[in-house]
Amino acid sequence: MALASVPFGLDAEGYNIWLYEKGGLEMMQEIYGKFGLFALPGGQCGQEMGLFSNKRATKMEDFKGMRVRTPGWYMDILNSLGASVSPLPGGEVYLALERGVIDAAEFSSPAINYPMGFDEITKYCIQPGVHQPGIQCALFFNQKAYDELPEDLKWIIDIAAKETQLWTYNWINGLNAEAIRKFKEKVEIVKMDKETIIEFRKTTKKYIDSLKEKYPDVKKVMDSQEAFTAEYADWRDARSGVTAWPYEDFVSGKTTE
């Protein structure tokens, strides 16, 4: 999870800088190398959507007792907050929502969620997708087979992986913009309160800190990502205030994302 989907973790920009400029790629290859795999970043799709839901939830207490579909670390975090979470496979999510087996579900980006028809059977989409600010994918090769390749083919693989990393973000977000407009025709986009998001962040930190105590590889990766986040904060703050909103939105006071 630390190399792919961290709640409140790195966004697309952060992953790209951390992977290629701050030692993240080397950590990825070191960890997967233990299992005979050679890994390369191979797809960065940005932030996922939040929960498609038939229950409106904007405050922390609203999630207590909610039956949710999500996997990974976010599943553990929601369970600790009193939700009842199941990591259903993608093919079962629609029916589970339709039949009321679950109250809410997250799955992927708007463009991937839209063909799945979640807006046909839910009333709300609870935003933002705090569970996955950056969808980081990877390509895996048998280490021995990769090592035996000539250098020119290794170079081609590296360039193709980087091209995929770049292309996926542009491709998916172009489609996401279309999909979210279609979603808004059928479901209400609900934003969690700022206080709720902050409480989620605190809960997430406690959970990740507990994982760092148990798993050295998680600690190594998360310490590195958190250090990058801290050193990048000054530039993130200094540049803020010029988000590319439509003119009328911007001059009305909406200057940041």
End-to-end CA distance of the chain: 26
Q: What is the mean pLDDT of the chain?
A: 96
- List C-alpha distances in Å: 248 to 23, 57, 251, 253, 254: 41, 30, 5, 9, 9
Residue 1: what pLDDT? Answer: 78
Mean pLDDT of 86-95: 95
pLDDT of residue 139 exceeding 90, the answer is yes
Question: What whole-number percentage of the chain has pLDDT above 70?
Answer: 100
- Which token pair is 224? 């590195």
Mean pLDDT of 215-239: 97
Q: What is the pLDDT of residues 33-72, one digit of tens each?
A: 999 999 999 999 999 999 999 999 999 999 999 999 999 9
Half-sphere exposure of 14 (CA within 13 A, CB side): 27
Q: How confident is the model at residue 80 (pLDDT cuts 50, 70, 90)?
A: very high
- Which token pair is 189? 């986009």
Residue 5: what pLDDT? Answer: 86
Enter the pTM of the model: 0.94
- Which token pair is 12? 């697309």
Question: b/e string for 46-68 if b means 16 or more Cβ within 10 A?
Answer: bbbbbbbbebebbebebbeebbb
Mean pLDDT of 134-155: 97
Mean pLDDT of 202-231: 97
Question: Is 94 within 8 Å of 118 (Cβ atoms)?
Answer: yes
Q: Spell out the domains of the chain, with CATH numbers in brackets.
A: 12-228 (3.40.190.170)
Question: Is 104 within 8 Å of 68 (Cβ atoms)?
Answer: yes
Q: What are phi and psi of 197, to 5 degrees?
A: -60, -40
Q: What single-letter DSSP state applies at residue 51?
A: E
- Which token pair is 22? 């701050």
